[in-house]
Amino acid sequence: MSIEKIIGFLRGYVEIYADGLFTERFLNVCMRREIYLWNIKRRGKHRISACISIRGFRLLRPIAKKTRTSVRITRRHGLPFIFHRYRRRKTAFLGLFLFLAVLWYLSSHIMGISISGNTRIPTEEIEKNLKNFGIHYGASVKKIDSEMVKNQMMISLDDLSWIGVSIKGSRAYIEVKERLDTKRLDDTDIPCDIVANRDGTIVLLEVKNGQTMVKVNQFVTEGDLLVSGLMDSEKVGMRYVHSFGEIFAETSYKKSGEYSLDFIEKIYSGKTKNRYTLSLLGKRFPLFNAKKSPFPHYDKEEKFIEYTPPLTFLPSAFVKTESYTEYTPKKKERTLEETIAFAEKELFALLDAEVPKDAEVLDKKITWQEAGERSITVTAEYLCREDIARQRKIDKIEILDYDKE
Amino acid sequence: MKKRKLQEETKPTFKERVADGFDALKEIILDVPKIVFIGNREAVIENYKSITDYTEVLIVLDAEPFPLKFSGKGLEIKSISCEMLFVSGEIEKMEFLREG
């Protein structure tokens, strides 16, 4: 089916018979007046048949009169005639209108946001920020200014180094690149101080530029000035430098918790139940009876799956799966040693997650004290050696008039 | 000498030489019809003046400098507009009707 035929169908056309002695003249006049005719066939000595658009047909009457031909419609084609035939069926038109309206809405409003590339910044935070700048479910695609959103996002989220906003159909694809290292100022021209990142006792100073303000074995607290970017020398006078270097200190990380000698052991029955929640366009539809608790005692686990339809203008569906695992609680007692061992394992795992990767763990300590009749407070401590240097930009630069005098 | 005289006779006019420069617009500048055949089934005629005769076996178009005559079987005008005319059917012959 060619484009011309589709347009012809949409606009509507009629097949006509033209009878007269001067059909050639009739055709010539039509041609002069730019009335488009097609499929012209000879149907007899004084008759031709042709196709003509509705608009063209309206202009035909004076021509017919002038050339003494009589024009008669034999067939009607196209949408306008179909509409005319069903003009009384109002609900059908309403349905058609609603269909078009829904189609229009779904294809011109944001129906899905895909965020990729973020590791540190939580997706929710990006979504929240996007919402402030006009990208959210149901937002009009036309009103979104990608450049503006990009700029605003770069301003509002410090951790971003690059953001790509592309809108394909009714889906927004947000691609994010995070800053590699937020602490280091790479440009060596920027004057800066070095301050302490953490509390600790300094063990080694390796200052490559800047005025060292602390000594080995000195205890510093977070935010203390370690190396100053303002240097004074006899020859040059006061000047700002980009101080950098490594300052190693012994730091400690602590975690404590209260542990009872009585504890509840979970005996799993092996039964699990899944509950599904469908969310569409930010609305939730629970697919289960929310009033009923699945088990008297259970562990809950949540999982989100996004279902993206193949057509980008359709909204994607999210399915939340909550799986409940049944257990029966059983009261048990444990000895002091067992409790400490349990606490040690749990607290060390927490500390392992907290201590930065490049820190060297020198010592691990466990201390405990009685907290109540049948409970103890256990404290775990890691003693580490790490680089606590953090560059801080010097914002206000006073004009130094030393040299002028 | 005789040879040179023959050449002079068929020498293109000034208008034709100008039109040669504008290769694609030749029929517009010279105001002559441009006829494109697709086998013997279809023909597209551009820059014609009017239709003078139209039957199933004969179509005569007025054009400069000579009228065009298409003859064949089951001829019909597929479409017609100011610039072009689309003839289809089994075309057997096309003639330039030189007067006199």
The reply to whether domains A3-83 and A108-178 share a CATH topology is no
Residue B95: CATH number of its domain:
2.60.40.2000
Cβ atoms of A31 and B80 closer than 8 Å = yes
| Number of domains observed in the structure of chain B | 2
- Dihedral sign (CA B3, B5, B10, B15): positive
What's the pLDDT score for residue A392?
81
- Closest chain B residue by Cα to residue A39: B78
- Dihedral sign (CA A330, A333, A337, A343): positive
Q: Are residues B1 and B39 in the same domain?
A: no
DSSP A109: B
User: Which domain range does residue B14 map to?
Assistant: 1-30
Q: Interface of chain B against chain A, CB under 8 Å?
A: 50-56, 75-82, 86
B98 has pLDDT over 50: yes
Pairs of residues, one from chain A and one from chain B, whose beta carbons lie less than 8 Å apart: 47
| Per-chain mean pLDDT for chain A | 83
Please list the alpha-helical segments (H only) found in A212-292.
none
The full DSSP string for B50-100 is EEEEE-SSEEEEE-SSS-EEEEEEEEEEEEE-SSEEEEEEEEEEEEE----
User: What are the structural domain ranges in chain A?
Assistant: 3-83, 108-178, 192-249+389-393, 255-261+335-385, 263-331
One-letter amino acid identity for A184? R
Cβ atoms of A202 and A248 closer than 8 Å = yes
pLDDT category of residue B86 using cuts at 50, 70 and 90: very high
A142 has pLDDT over 90: no
CA torsion A282→A287→A288→A289, rounded to 10°?
A: 60
CA–CA separation, A254 vs A355, rounded Å? 10
Q: Which residues does B87 contact at the CB level (< 8 Å), separation at least 6?
A: B42, B43, B44, B45, B59, B70, B75, B76, B77, B78
CA–CA separation, A184 vs A175, rounded Å? 24
CA–CA separation, A145 vs A134, rounded Å? 9
pLDDT category of residue A336 using cuts at 50, 70 and 90: confident
- Closest chain A residue by Cα to residue B78: A39
Q: Are residues B58 and B86 in the same domain?
A: yes
Q: How many CB atoms within 10 Å of residue A191?
A: 19
What's the pLDDT score for residue A111?
81
Cα of A34 to nearest chain B Cα, Å: 6
Q: Are residues B51 and B98 in the same domain?
A: yes
Q: Which helix (H) or strand (E) holds A333?
A: strand A317-333
What's the pLDDT score for residue A404?
45
A68 has pLDDT over 70: yes
Cβ atoms of A125 and A132 closer than 8 Å = no
Cβ atoms of A274 and A321 closer than 8 Å = yes
Selection from A106-110, A118-122, A205-209, B87-91 with the highest mean pLDDT: B87-91
Work out whether strand A13-20 and strand A37-44 pair parallel, antiparallel, or are unpaired: unpaired
pLDDT category of residue B44 using cuts at 50, 70 and 90: very high
Per-residue model confidence as pLDDT tens digits over B45-80: 998 888 988 888 999 999 888 899 999 999 989 888
What's the pLDDT score for residue A312?
57
The tokens 């039109």 sit on which residue?
B19
Identify which has the larger pLDDT, A17 or A139.
A17
Identify which has the larger pLDDT, A104 or A304.
A104
One-letter amino acid identity for A14? V
- Closest Cβ opposite residue B56 in set A31, A37, A42: A42
pLDDT category of residue A273 using cuts at 50, 70 and 90: confident
Work out whether strand A112-116 and strand A37-44 pair parallel, antiparallel, or are unpaired: unpaired
Average pLDDT over residues A356-383: 82
When mean pLDDT is compared across A43-57, A189-203, A281-295, the lowest value belongs to A281-295
pLDDT category of residue A282 using cuts at 50, 70 and 90: confident
Cα of A84 to nearest chain B Cα, Å: 27
ipTM value > 0.85:
no
Q: Are residues B65 and B38 in the same domain?
A: yes
Q: Give pTM, 2 decimals.
A: 0.43
What's the pLDDT score for residue A99?
95
Q: Are residues B70 and B100 in the same domain?
A: yes
Cα of B17 to nearest chain A Cα, Å: 31
Assigned CATH for A3-83: 3.30.70
Q: Are residues B54 and B97 in the same domain?
A: yes
B41 has pLDDT over 90: yes
What's the pLDDT score for residue A314?
67
The tokens 């060619």 sit on which residue?
A2
**Residues of A in Cβ contact (< 8 Å) with B51:** 24, 27-28, 31
Per-residue model confidence as pLDDT tens digits over A81-112: 988 888 889 898 899 999 999 999 888 888 88
Q: What is the largest CA-CA distance in chain A?
A: 121
Q: Which residues does A114 contact at the CB level (< 8 Å), separation at least 6?
A: A171, A172, A173, A174, A308
Average pLDDT over residues A242-261: 84
Query: What are the tokens at B97?
Result: 């009707």
Q: Are residues B8 and B38 in the same domain?
A: no
Average pLDDT over residues A285-307: 76
Do residue B76 and residue A40 have CB atoms under 8 angstroms apart? yes
Q: Are residues B24 and B39 in the same domain?
A: no
Average pLDDT over residues B88-98: 92
How is domain A108-178 classified at the CATH fold level? Ubiquitin-like (UB roll) (3.10.20)
Q: Are residues B22 and B36 in the same domain?
A: no
What's the pLDDT score for residue A74?
93
Q: Are residues B75 and B48 in the same domain?
A: yes
Question: Crossing angle, helix A123-132 and helix A146-156, to 10 degrees?
Answer: 120
CA–CA separation, B60 vs B66, rounded Å? 11
Do residue B81 and residue A34 have CB atoms under 8 angstroms apart? yes
Do residue A30 and residue B77 have CB atoms under 8 angstroms apart? no
**Residues of A in Cβ contact (< 8 Å) with B78:** 38-40
Cα of A65 to nearest chain B Cα, Å: 19
Q: Are residues B22 and B41 in the same domain?
A: no
Q: Are residues B40 and B69 in the same domain?
A: yes
Q: Which helix (H) or strand (E) holds A248?
A: strand A244-260
Q: Which residues does A282 contact at the CB level (< 8 Å), separation at least 6?
A: A137, A138
Identify which has the larger pLDDT, A400 or A317.
A317
CA–CA separation, A216 vs A270, rounded Å? 58
Q: Where are the beta strands (DSSP E) in A340-393?
A: 360-370, 375-387, 389-393
